[in-house]
Amino acid sequence: MFSKDRWIDFLDRLIILKSTILRRIEFILTVALFLGFGLVIYQIGVPKEPQIKNIVNGILRQIPRFVMLVYLGKWVLSVINRKRFDLFSREFLPDLILFGCLFLFDRFKHVNFLLEGEWFLYMLICVFFAIRVMRAGSQLKVTLLNPSILFIVSFLLLIMIGTALLLVPSATNGNLSFVDALFTATSAVCVTGLATVDTASKFTDLGKDILLIMIQIGGLGLMTFTNFFSVLFRGEMSFRNHLILQNIIETDKPNSLFATLIKIVIYTLLVEVLGVLYIFVTIDSTQFSSVGDEWFFAIFHSISAFCNAGFSTLPNGLFNDGFRFNYNFQLAICFLVILGGIGFPVVNDLYTTVKNILYNLYRTVFLKERYKVQARNVSVNSRIVLTTTFVLLVVGTVLYFLTEHNNLLKEHTTFYGKLVQSFFGSVTPRTAGFNTVDMGQLMQGTILIYLLLMWIGASPSSTGGGIKTTTFAIALSNIVALSKGKNRVDLFKREISNTSIHRAFAVIFLSLLIIGSAVLGITIFDPNHNLTEIAFECFSAYSTVGLSLNVTPTLSAPSKLILVLTMFIGRVGMFTLLFGIFNKVECKMYQYPKENIIIT
Q: What pLDDT digit, counting tens, does each position of 207-231 carry?
A: 898 899 889 888 776 545 544 544 4
Residue 2: is its pLDDT beyond 60?
no
The pLDDT confidence band at residue 590, using thresholds 50, 70 and 90, is low
- Residue with the larger pLDDT of the pair 43 and 255: 43
Q: Among 26-35, 107-116, 357-366, 589-598, name the most confident range.
A: 26-35
47: helix, strand or coil: coil
Query: Is 518 within 8 Å of 538 (Cβ atoms)?
Result: yes
* Cα 282-284-288 angle, rounded to 5 deg: 125
Listed residue (426, 432, 430, 469) closest to 192, CA to CA: 432
Q: What pLDDT digit, counting tens, does each position of 542-582 carry?
A: 998 888 888 888 999 999 999 999 999 888 876 666 665 55
495 phi, psi to nearest 5 deg: -90, 130
The pLDDT of residue 147:
59
Instruction: Domain count for the chain, please give it.
Output: 1
Q: Judge whether 60 lies within some domain.
A: yes
The pLDDT of residue 119:
77
CA 66/CA 78 separation, integer angstroms: 18
The pLDDT of residue 142:
47
Q: Greatest CA separation found in the chain?
A: 99
Q: Mean pLDDT, the chain, as a whole number?
A: 81
Exposed/middle/buried for 374, CB within 10 Å: 0-12, 13-18, 19+?
A: exposed
Q: Which amino acid is at 369?
A: E
- Residue with the larger pLDDT of the pair 301 and 8: 301
Residue 394: is its pLDDT beyond 90?
yes
Pairing of strands 494-495, 490-491: antiparallel
Q: Judge whether 478 lies within some domain.
A: no
User: Which residue segment(s) compose the domain that 13 sits in?
Assistant: 1-138
CA 272/CA 336 separation, integer angstroms: 8
Q: What pLDDT digit, counting tens, does each position of 416-468 carry?
A: 999 999 999 999 998 888 888 888 888 999 999 999 999 998 888 787 888 99
The pLDDT of residue 333:
93
Q: Judge whether 370 lies within some domain.
A: no
546: helix, strand or coil: coil
Q: Judge whether 280 lies within some domain.
A: no
Question: Which residues have a Cβ under 8 Å from the Cβ of 591 and sit 6 or more positions away?
Answer: none
The pLDDT of residue 298:
93
> Which stretches of 80-177 are DSSP H helices?
93-108, 113-116, 118-138, 147-166
Q: What pLDDT digit, counting tens, does each position of 10-28 carry?
A: 656 666 677 777 778 888 8
Q: Judge whether 316 lies within some domain.
A: no
412 phi, psi to nearest 5 deg: -95, 110
* Helices and strands in the chain: count of H runs, count of E runs: 23, 2
Listed residue (294, 305, 308) closest to 333, CA to CA: 305
CA 508/CA 472 separation, integer angstroms: 8
| pLDDT (average), residues 168-196 | 87
Listed residue (107, 124, 136) closest to 40, CA to CA: 124
Q: Judge whether 72 lies within some domain.
A: yes
Q: What pLDDT digit, counting tens, does each position of 236-279 carry?
A: 444 444 554 555 455 555 455 566 777 778 888 899 999 999 99
> Which stretches of 139-284 are DSSP H helices?
147-166, 178-189, 199-202, 205-220, 222-234, 239-249, 257-282
* Cα 329-331-333 angle, rounded to 5 deg: 75
Q: Judge whether 5 lies within some domain.
A: yes
| pLDDT (average), residues 377-386 | 86
CA 403/CA 471 separation, integer angstroms: 27
The pLDDT of residue 513:
92
- Residue with the larger pLDDT of the pair 351 and 331: 331
Q: Judge whether 559 lies within some domain.
A: no
* Cα 241-247-250 angle, rounded to 5 deg: 130
CA 81/CA 92 separation, integer angstroms: 14
Residues of the chain by 3-state class (helix, strand, coil), percent to 5 = 70, 0, 30
Query: Is 102 within 8 Å of 64 (Cβ atoms)?
Result: yes
DSSP 8-state symbol, 432 = T
Which neighbouring-strand residues pair with 495?
A: 490
- Residue with the larger pLDDT of the pair 369 and 422: 422
The reported pTM is 0.80
- Residue with the larger pLDDT of the pair 439 and 594: 439
Q: Among 14-28, 87-101, 366-380, 451-465, name the most confident range.
A: 451-465
The pLDDT of residue 302:
93
Listed residue (188, 195, 180) closest to 214, CA to CA: 188
